[in-house]
Amino acid sequence: MRTRYNMPRLGDLACFEAAARHLSFKNAARELNVTPAAVSHRVKALEEELRSALFVRNHRGVDLTEVGAYLFVSLQRSFEAISDCVAQIAERHESATVTIGATTAMSGFWLTPRLSAFWKTHGDIPVNQIVHDSPDADTKFDLSIHYGDPTLEREETRILFRDRILALGSPQFAAKYGISRLSDLQNVPLVHVPSDGRRWTDWPAWFEAMGLLPPNGPTFNLNNYMISLQAAEDDVGAVLGWEGLVGNVVRTKRLIVLVPEAMESPWPFYLRIHRHASANARLFANWLAANTAADATNLIP
Nearest to 102 by CA among 233, 297, 288, 250: 288
Band the pLDDT of 84: cuts 50, 70, 90. confident
Task: Look at residue 135 and tell me whether its pLDDT is greater than 70.
Answer: no
Stretch 49-68: mean pLDDT, rounded? Answer: 89
Sign of CA dihedral 16, 17, 22, 28: negative
Q: What is the pLDDT of residue 90?
A: 61
Rg (CA), the chain: 31
Counted residue by residue, the chain has a size of 301
Lowest mean pLDDT among 132-141, 159-168, 228-237: 132-141
Task: Look at residue 39 and tell me whether its pLDDT is greater than 50.
Answer: yes
Nearest to 181 by CA among 201, 209, 210: 210
Stretch 131-144: mean pLDDT, rounded? Answer: 74
Domains of the chain, earliest start first: 10-94 (1.10.10.10), 98-160+268-298 (3.40.190.10), 164-264 (3.40.190.10)
Stretch 44-63: mean pLDDT, rounded? Answer: 90
Band the pLDDT of 297: cuts 50, 70, 90. very low
Provide the mean pLDDT of the chain: 87
The CB density around residue 123, as the number of other CB atoms within 10 Å, is: 8
First-residue to last-residue Cα distance in the chain: 80
Q: What is the pLDDT of residue 301?
A: 45
Tell which wins on pLDDT, 228 or 83. 228
Task: For residue range 98-119, list pLDDT tens digits in order.
Answer: 999 998 889 988 999 899 899 9
Q: Could you say which DSSP state residue 109 is in?
A: I
Stretch 206-226: mean pLDDT, rounded? Answer: 91
Task: Look at residue 47 and tell me whether its pLDDT is greater than 50.
Answer: yes
Label the pairing between strands 156-161 and 190-192: unpaired
Secondary structure percentages of the chain, helix, strand, coil, to 5: 45, 20, 35
Q: What is the pLDDT of residue 91?
A: 59
CA 276 → CA 98, 159, 204, distances in Å? 11, 19, 39
Stretch 204-231: mean pLDDT, rounded? Answer: 92
Task: For residue range 245-270, list pLDDT tens digits in order.
Answer: 888 899 899 999 999 999 999 889 99
* Orientation angle between helical segments 66-94 and 10-22, nearest 10 degrees: 110
Q: What is the pLDDT of residue 82?
A: 86
